[in-house]
Amino acid sequence: MNRHELSTEHADLRAAVETFARTEVAPVIGDFYERGAFPYDIIAKMGQMGLFGLPFPEEHGGMGGDYFALCLALEELARVDSSVAITLEAGVSLGAMPIHRFGTEEQKKTYLPKLTSGEALGAFGLTEPDGGSDAGATKTTARLENGEWVINGTKSFITNSGTDITALVTVTAVTGKRGDGRPEISSILVPKGTPGFSVGQKYSKVGWNASDTNELVFEDCRVPEANLVGERGRGYAQFLRILDEGRIAIAALSVGLAQGCVDESVRYAHERQAFGHSIGAYQAIQFKIAEMESRTYSARLAYYDAASRMLAGEPFKKEAAIAKLIASNAAMDNARDATQVFGGYGFMNDYPVGRFYRDAKILEIGEGTSEVQKMLIARELGLPA
């Protein structure tokens, strides 16, 4: 992949998802959003398009594509709505990817076909009520007892964890102590319906209202020892690898929201009349939209570069952090400016920019806060830890 150009396959995919987002998602998603309802029909259509299988091999039901293809799809979906985009992002990079990257062949055969087809969703239980950005401070525990993991603990803010089509959650848990006294953290797969595993009440959120987010509770939840994902004690390291990739995906989603703000502002600037002219004729509006487009363009190049390095097998941790930082900032800044362009109408939920404004802030928090990204960048530059 050229770092600044799309292949024919990627361009065709981007165009197909753009059309789907404009014709299938845009006309109806506002209603789902205001009701806080999960858009099952839209998700099913995305599954039929193969979007949930984009970066996975055909032998496990995937499309045989790459991670950049997923990013392009996320960008186009987020130009219209972030709830749908985050459902795809979490379903792929957090739900299915840990199994693909670290699971046994039996786990892959059992779970990936339904996850990659979109028939089922997976979730990743990492964040805890008292943990936040300190993911290493895991309090959830899992002990081996008679060939079973007995899990106890609580996870918070978990996407795709409580839908009717959720099939499993992979949780991080303390499974012992290392030689240096630090906790040994492992990843364990817990199927939906397992006794002792319950889904808490759905959160009341500022944004992403058409996506699913819940608290998860484990009370003496027992699963087979074979449900360990990857090596025992490597759960935290595995999670870091998943997050590095996921930051590129969130950057792409952020670019989509930022571009959606530009799209809506350009359209409105032509339509809205003030003082005898369309507001787009005024330099103040022109400059604001020009800045919005410049932020979006720069952020897109950043995630393209990070994705290309990842696909080439090159180090990409710093570039992923930079892309996520730049793109989430662009999304937040553009959402604020688009609301200003729309004036009072920008504060109304009747217009997409109202959703964009509500959805943008979480992009500076999820998958690592902006402060965490700066910390990672500083470490990659060799500054003292």
Residue in 210, 215, 239, 228 with CA at minimum distance from that of residue 161: 215
Encode pLDDT of 92-110 as tens digits: 999 999 999 999 999 999 9
pLDDT at residue 201, rounded to an integer: 83
Stretch (H or E) spanning 278: strand 277-278
Q: Is 34 a catalytic residue?
A: no
Averaged pLDDT for residues 110-117: 97
- The residue annotated as part of the active site, out of 145, 264, 367, 380, is 367
Look over the chain and give the mean of its residue pLDDT values, rounded to a whole number: 95
DSSP 160-174: TSSSTTEEEEEEEEE
Structure tokens at 51: 């979007």
Contact 142/151 with Cβ under 8 angstroms?
yes
Q: How confident is the model at residue 1 (pLDDT cuts 50, 70, 90)?
A: very low
Enumerate the β-bridge partners of residue 229: 187
Averaged pLDDT for residues 280-287: 96
Residues contacting 307, CB < 8 A, separation 6+: 1, 67, 68, 71, 248, 252
Encode pLDDT of 152-176 as tens digits: 999 999 999 999 999 999 999 999 9
Averaged pLDDT for residues 125-146: 85
Encode pLDDT of 133-142 as tens digits: 666 688 999 9
Cβ burial, residue 298 (10 Å; 0-12/13-18/19+): middle
Name the percent of the chain lying above pLDDT 70. Answer: 98
Residue in 307, 330, 327, 318 with CA at minimum distance from that of residue 374: 318
Cβ burial, residue 41 (10 Å; 0-12/13-18/19+): exposed
Encode pLDDT of 305-348 as tens digits: 999 999 999 999 999 999 999 999 999 999 999 999 999 999 99
Contact 30/88 with Cβ under 8 angstroms?
no
pLDDT of 85 strictly over 50? yes
pLDDT of 131 strictly over 80? no
Averaged pLDDT for residues 45-51: 97
Q: Tell me if residue 177 falls in helix, strand or coil.
A: strand
